[in-house]
């Protein structure tokens, strides 16, 4: 079992390596960094241009590998390695490598145009996230941390997918010896909760939904207490805000925090399809976020 890190050639942000090493210190597993370079057409009789292109791609792979090894050298306590592969599709190459390495988590960085300290998926990582069958951890742009994973925050909606996500989050906490924080977001940009299937906008409806959400959180807390999460190991919180940025930033965040969100289980396969709430949480998250595939229909 490994943490597989996607590392782009000419990468100027080592945030994914930093996050993977942080996770590895909390749940000791090897870290393997892989860079994907373009693959030539592999014609039987390669022309001079084809050979030049192949040589350029190999040089890119060697350069990226050397840079990744230099980044990994900053974490001598972590068992780590780096390499490169050539492929037509970066997301598919990473998924194939994850299967070959028996990775239990993929780790990627944010897009180069993300604001420092924020998460934004590039087109390639977006395709990767939506095809993955294992958790995908996304580091904020420029992420650095010397702290182990101390607390895992999970968004809870009291539906089948949320209960499945709760089980998976509890397992992450056990593996990393982290505290678990259970949160329900009530976002009210037009005086109605985005996370609830309620179309009314009256204040009374918001109060009723908040009351139901609080009761659901208590029920989840009682369940987790039965799983060994008691005392300081467990915290629950209901957060309200006029928009997603206000709600997410309304939580106290600290070094050593990670956030877990789940996928929408509207597809027949157990893969990651971000619902609107998870996508909005992801965009506003100030800490590394792990996206967990949802429960397949009929599973």
Please check whether residue 178 is in contact with residue 147, taking contact to mean a CB–CB distance below 8 angstroms: no
Higher pLDDT: 188 or 194? It is 188
- At 91, the pLDDT band (50, 70, 90 cuts) reads very high
Q: pLDDT for 39-81, tens place per residue?
A: 865 555 555 677 788 888 888 889 999 999 999 999 999 999 9
The reported pLDDT for the residue numbered 41 is 58
Q: Which of 79-83, 143-147, 262-266 has the lowest mean pLDDT?
A: 262-266
Same fold, 2-138 and 151-292: yes
pLDDT at 198 over 90: no
CATH architecture entry for 151-292: 3-Layer(aba) Sandwich (3.40)
pLDDT band at 267 (very low <50, low <70, confident <90, very high): very low
Matching CATH number, 2-138, of 1.10.1530.10, 3.40.50.620, 3.30.70.100, 3.40.50.1000: 3.40.50.620
Predicted pLDDT of residue 270: 36
What are the residue ranges spanned by the domains of the chain?
Answer: 2-138, 151-292
- DSSP result, 28-87: ---EEEEEEEE-----SS--HHHHHHHHHHHHHHHHHHHHHHHHHTT-TTS-EEEEEEEE
pTM of the model: 0.85
Give the helix/strand (H/E) hosting 202: none
Q: How far apart are CA 230 and CA 225, in angstroms?
A: 5
- With cut-offs at 50, 70 and 90, classify the pLDDT of residue 273: very low
């Amino acid at each position: 079992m490994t943490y597989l890190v996607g590392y782009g050639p000419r990468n100027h942000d080592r945030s994914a390596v930093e996050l993977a090493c942080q996770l590895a210190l909390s749940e000791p597993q090897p870290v393997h960094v892989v860079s994907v370079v373009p693959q030539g057409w592999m014609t039987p009789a390669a022309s001079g241009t084809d050979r030049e292109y192949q040589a350029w791609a190999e040089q890119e792979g060697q350069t990226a590998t050397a840079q990744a090894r230099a980044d990994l050298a900053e974490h001598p306590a972590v068992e780590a390695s780096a390499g490169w592969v050539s492929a037509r599709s970066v997301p598919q190459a990473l998924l194939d490598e994850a299967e070959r390495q028996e990775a239990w988590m993929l780790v990627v960085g944010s897009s180069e145009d993300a604001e420092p300290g924020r998460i934004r998926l590039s087109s390639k990582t977006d395709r990767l996230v939506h095809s993955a069958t294992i958790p995908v951890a996304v580091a904020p742009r420029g992420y650095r941390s010397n702290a182990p994973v101390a607390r895992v925050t999970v968004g809870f909606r009291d539906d089948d997918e949320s209960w499945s996500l709760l089980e998976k989050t509890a397992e992450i906490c056990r593996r990393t010896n982290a505290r678990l924080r259970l949160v329900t977001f009530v976002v009210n940009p037009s005086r109605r909760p985005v996370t609830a299937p309620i179309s009314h906008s009256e204040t009374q409806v918001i109060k009723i939904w908040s009351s139901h959400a609080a009761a659901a959180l208590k029920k989840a807390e009682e369940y987790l207490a039965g799983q060994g999460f008691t005392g300081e190991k467990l915290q629950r919180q209901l957060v309200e805000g006029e928009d997603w940025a206000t709600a997410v930033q309304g939580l106290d965040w600290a070094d050593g925090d990670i956030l877990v969100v789940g996928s929408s289980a509207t597809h027949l396969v157990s893969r990651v399809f971000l619902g609107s709430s998870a996508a909005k949480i992801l965009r506003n998250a100030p800490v590394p976020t792990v996206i967990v595939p949802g429960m397949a229909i009929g599973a």
